[in-house]
Amino acid sequence: MLPQRVRLQYEASVLHPDSLIGCGVRRIPEGSTERYTRWINTITQDQLTTQVYTSHGPTVVMPTWFCSRNWFQRVGPFDEGGKGVPEDLLFFYQSLRRGGGVARVDHCLLVYRYHEKAATHSVLEETIWNLRVDFLQERVLSQWESFTIWNAGKQGRKLYRCLSPANQRKVKAFCDVDENKIQKGFYTYEESKERPKPKIPVLHYKEASSPFIICVKLDMTGGVLEENLNSLQLREGADYFHFN
């Protein structure tokens, strides 16, 4: 911990008593998990709430958490299942279910060490995926009558296949920028037991309509994805949510 951490996060928790308070971090060795570290430190206060469904996990990372004892007790204990249990993600989701907020002190107050034997590496990717899909369905898709999956490739199709039948029926289209996928016209859900098998249109993103679930990784397209979203004048948290 760096000097002032307790004081600054305590002051923030007084203003946000029912919240998990995070802070900025510096990773060592320098350059470790560069994209992830940039995300931790630079997403906006609003995105701390809207980007809770991404593969990065909690929008304020557990080593930075600060909250009142009262809030901790209201959320409940950590899952002590041991190796392979993403206890931070489970607690984070439960805090949000209880109506908790998320806030970050925008100072670097923690040195966050990366090493290959960290417990986080014991958690299976599929475990995280299933928790994220369930939380997305619970918090977002249950409120929508229909939506578009932004990415007709591997990740978008995987999300579609993992949705409940009721939410699969809400998918009105996939959208993409890849002309090859768009020219095929449809994605056919071959594993479906329905007859005829569901065929979901594949559109260019400019022809698709919101709301969207974005299944393209952030900070991986040289700003192209972000520019495309901005060009449509969409509001994160209302017209779209990031999932990857």
Confidence of residue 221 (pLDDT cuts 50, 70, 90): confident
- Band of residue 83 on the pLDDT scale cut at 50, 70, 90: confident
Lowest mean pLDDT among 1-10, 100-109, 128-137, 215-224: 215-224
- What pLDDT digit, counting tens, does each position of 159-180 carry? 999 999 999 999 999 999 999 9
Residue 138 near residue 33 (C-beta atoms within 8 A): no
Q: What pLDDT does 119 receive?
A: 66
Over residues 77-94, mean pLDDT: 92
User: What is the reported pLDDT for 57?
Assistant: 93
CB atoms within 10 A of CB 147: 20
Backbone torsions φ then ψ of 133, nearest 5 degrees: -60, -45
Q: Identify the CATH assignment for 143-242 out of 3.90.550, 1.10.287, 2.40.50, 3.40.50.
A: 3.40.50
Q: Is 241 helix (H, G, I), strand (E, B) or coil?
A: strand
Q: Of the given ranges (157-161, 196-200, 206-210, 222-226), which has the lowest mean pLDDT?
A: 222-226
Residue 42 burial (10 A CB sphere; 0-12, 13-18, 19+): exposed
Residue 69 has pLDDT above 70, yes or no: yes
143-242 shares the fold of 5-126: no
Q: How far apart are CA 86 and CA 82, in angstroms?
A: 9
Model confidence at 110, pLDDT cuts 50, 70, 90, reads very high
The pLDDT of 132-140, averaged and rounded, is 98
Going from N- to C-terminal start, the domains of the chain cover 5-126, 143-242
* pLDDT given at position 94: 98
Domain 5-126 = CATH 3.90.550.10: yes
